[in-house]
Amino acid sequence: MFPPLPYLEWIEGRPAAARHDLASSDLRPNPSGSPPALVPGRLADLPDPDGGTTLREYVAAEYDVSPSRVVLAAGATHANFLAVATAGALAAERDDAADPTLRAVVETPGYGPLVETPRALGIRTDRFRRPLPDATLDPSRAASAIEEPGLERRFTHLTVTNRHNPTGVLASRTDLQRLATIARGNDGYLLVDEVYAPYVAESTGDRGFGGPTAAGLDGAVTVGSLTKFHGLGGLRVGWLVAPERFARRAEAVRNHVPALADPSVALARRFFSNRDAAVADARDHCAANHDLLAEFVAGRSDLSGPVPDGSSFAFLSHESADGDDVAEAAWGAGVLVVPGRFFGERGGFRVSLGGGEEASAAALSALGSVLDGF
């Protein structure tokens, strides 16, 4: 149980050591190697909330749901763990399958911990493909994987990311509704990691920081945080939004693991009380980095792979080198990119612009010099 997570072990310490970080996807103006502050710079001069609105209530208002559907967590990783463990607990409590084995289905290519966490909890984890380069989210593929003959076990959940990690492809609420219907039809839940959903050039709605969200859909459990879009990873503030029955069970599961720290809660409340200005700043940051990345890729005939509209990250392929070759050569030149093997696709690599515009432009220039050497 609880096997090592190769990507997290690989990335540890690298952003701070790299001269040019093109791996970290959280939008932050300061270099990752900067000493941590007690109060993040972007929150330091902001006022605290006047009223007594709780963090749970702030999150609920963001997604236009009842606070009873919100469960707070110590970051997105913690929230994903709670979601998986809860889905497994609810499936185990059913008495409707001859084979008691728990079973989940997760997208591929995909983020490794979303595959390994259910396995660590004793849940058999199978995959359904989102074909590259467009990473199309095809409900029929998910349904076929869930309903595969001979695997009539207790289905727990179907997991997708939105934006898709690693490609940056964005799914619509309609797409997510179809998947949620499939999951509930098999007595499970749709789990959507939405930490990248707010990465949109223009708001697609008033909920979930402006990106498409599955929050509120029947059978959907969504995960969000202040880490990526808002660049506040040091606070370790995350949440899940779920049907009330699921949320109540997740609260019970949460008693088994560490809770969200009070200082983080206080700073998260400060963020939400100044939400509109913070979101506007993040959206401008994301848009500028998207333009840099799109221009870089369009200008290189040796690279292929889409840069989705509004996304500041993309999954790319080189005409004569695989993802490991590119990542190794880049690291030798002080440039950090993520090899595709960590997402189940060795042929490519993920490039992500999280830093300020000047630092991101310099990082892409350095990567270009590396690619010129192949």
Give domain status of residue 1, yes or no: no
66 & 140 share domain: yes
Same domain, 339 and 360: yes
What is the pLDDT, as a whole number, of residue 236?
Answer: 95
pLDDT value at position 370? 97
End-of-domain residue from the set 226, 255, 273: 273
Q: What is the pLDDT of residue 283?
A: 94
- Report residue 113: phi and psi, to 5°: -60, -25
Of 273, 303, 337, the last residue of a domain is: 273
Let me know whether 26 and 60 are in one domain: no
Name the residue type at position 102: L
Please state the domain count of the chain.
Answer: 2
Q: In degrees rounded to 5, what are phi and psi of residue 179?
A: -70, -40
Residues 87, 231 within the same domain = yes
Q: What is the pLDDT of residue 98?
A: 61
Q: Mean pLDDT for each 10-residue chunk of the chain (374 residues)? A: 87 94 86 68 88 95 97 97 97 76 95 95 95 94 87 88 97 95 96 96 79 95 96 94 97 92 95 94 95 98 96 97 97 98 96 95 97 96
Residue in the block written with tokens 């709780």: 54
Residue ending a domain, among 273, 304, 326, is 273
Residue 292 pLDDT: 97
pTM for this entry: 0.94
Which CATH number fits the domain that encloses residue 332? 3.90.1150.10
Q: What CATH number is associated with residue 265?
A: 3.40.640.10
What confidence score (pLDDT) does residue 29 get? 67
Considering the domain architecture, whether residues 191 and 262 belong to the same structural domain is answered as yes
pLDDT of residue 3: 81
Amino acid 94: pLDDT? 83
Residue type, 344: G
Are residues 109 and 174 both part of a single domain? yes
pLDDT score of 19: 96
Which residue range(s) make up the domain with 359? 6-39+277-372
State whether the Cα torsion 244-246-249-253 is positive or negative: negative
Phi, psi of 41 (to 5 degrees): -55, -40
